[in-house]
Structure 1
């Protein structure tokens, strides 16, 4: 047992827990899944697929942006959302590949 150790540094574990806590909502996981399929999407595009109120969607997007999960880019009157860290999409691959979900 003496050779057993935590292989990931503490700061990375803390960041992972912070991000996973933010993402622990079906709607937020859906947003990540959609942004994995398309490089970037507007609130209107996301709302059309997710079929939720714009105010609730904006709440989720703001929370995810504030936590560094999503980034934004403005073009004219449109704000596009994108995954700030592409490795986040690995979570969707884990969910899809899991037999227990």
Structure 2
């Protein structure tokens, strides 16, 4: 019989919050642009997505607050990047699962 280790409720809650934060088309697109260790500014991301800079900032804030992204200030710019590169596998899985 397979032994099931005890589930850590706090870790499950953190994971669920991260998945909720990712569960938006624009946020998935942001993660896609940050794959491979890329670090991008709000301006670069908003230009890539073709959406308002304020909307981009809103989405980045949610992703950062839920532990999906990190940010680093360099001079006048703040660069955003994946906190855990393995998160890009979620995007890859979604792409595979939505192919027809």
TM-score category, normalised to shorter length: 0.7 to 0.9
Any unmatched runs of 5+ in structure 1? none
Q: Match of 2:79? A: 80
Q: What is the count of residue pairs matched by the alignment?
A: 99
CA distance in 1, matches of 2:89, 2:13: 18
Helix, strand or coil at the partner of 2:29: helix
Cα offset, 1:98, TM superposition? 1.4
What TM-score do the two structures reach when normalised by structure 2?
A: 0.85
Any unmatched runs of 5+ in structure 2? none
After TM superposition, the runs of 4+ consecutive aligned structure 1 residues lying more than 3 A away are 3-8
Q: Match of 2:34? A: 35
Helix, strand or coil at the partner of 1:20: helix
Q: Match of 2:16? A: 17
Cα offset, 1:39, TM superposition? 1.5
Helix, strand or coil at the partner of 1:22: helix
Helix, strand or coil at the partner of 1:68: coil
